[in-house]
Every structure is written in structure tokens, then in C-alpha cells.
Amino acid sequence: MKIRYLAVVDKNITKNFTYEDLSCPCCNRIIICDRLYQHMDLLQKMRGKLNFPVIINSAYRCKRHNEDIGGTVNSQHLLFATDIRPSWKTGFKQRLKAIKVVVKEMDFDGIGDYPTFVHLDMRGEKARWKPLI
């Protein structure tokens, strides 16, 4: 896998998501590789099926930031993953459920179901945990 890093610019990567949405909060960089573009294509398609914005809680993490927040040593966020949720506005539970329903139809490799967000990644093999509704 060819990998390079990019200092984040204020530019959209898809219609609804910017490079800044995806960057590491500690170094403001992002890893550029095939899985980034595959992932974001799926995420944009998912967003298009929903009738509300999707918030990215966490995306790429550099090694230092991953360690600082207690991420696992082999976290998919080191190679690129997203944790997503709806906004905290009224209807959060219903919107989170809608995200989980739509995500099940998408071709993300890794999908993790959590009480307030959904983890998505392109690890190269199917992985599911805390099964979606």
C-alpha cells in the first residue's frame, strides 16, 4: 500500500466532508492512501442516503495522538478509519439508528456498533463487533 502524509488544507474531499474533518487533531495531518478514498466514497454514499448531517468524531490519528487517547496499538485509525454520529440535536437516538441501518448495506470492512457512534474502516477483511441493530 502506497502511503503519504498531507498537511491538511481547507478543501472538500467529498461533497459533505473536508480534509479537516479527517485530520489528526494533534498534528493536523492525514494519511493519503487508497483506503482513504475508498472509505470516503462509501461515507459520502451513506451520507447521501440519510436525510441529516453526519459528524466525524475521529478519523486519522497519528501514533502520538492514538497513544495519548488510549487507542489500541493496532488501531485502524492509524491507517484511516472513522467514528461517526449524528448531531446531538433532538432525535439523536433515531438518527443513530438510521445510520446503523444504512451502514449495514454498505461495503465497509470493519463496522463497530457503540452506544453513541459507529466505527467504520477498510481493513481488508470483514469484521463486525457489537452487532448493529
Domain ranges of the chain: 4-129
What's the CA gap between 25 and 131, in Å, rounded? 29
Can you tell me which residue has the cell 439523536?
A: 92
Predicted confidence at residue 7, as pLDDT, reads: 57
CATH topology of domain 4-129: Muramoyl-pentapeptide Carboxypeptidase; domain 2 (3.30.1380)
pLDDT tens-digit readout, 24-79:
999 888 888 888 899 999 999 999 999 899 999 999 999 999 999 999 999 999 98
74, HSE (Cβ side, Cα atoms, 13 Å): 1
In contact, 80 and 60? CB cutoff 8 Å: yes
In contact, 38 and 9? CB cutoff 8 Å: no
Can you tell me which residue has the cell 493536523?
A: 28
What is the overall mean pLDDT for the chain? 89
Beta strands in the chain (DSSP E): 4-7, 29-32, 55-58, 81-85, 110-113, 118-121, 127-129
Rg of the chain, C-alpha, whole Å: 14
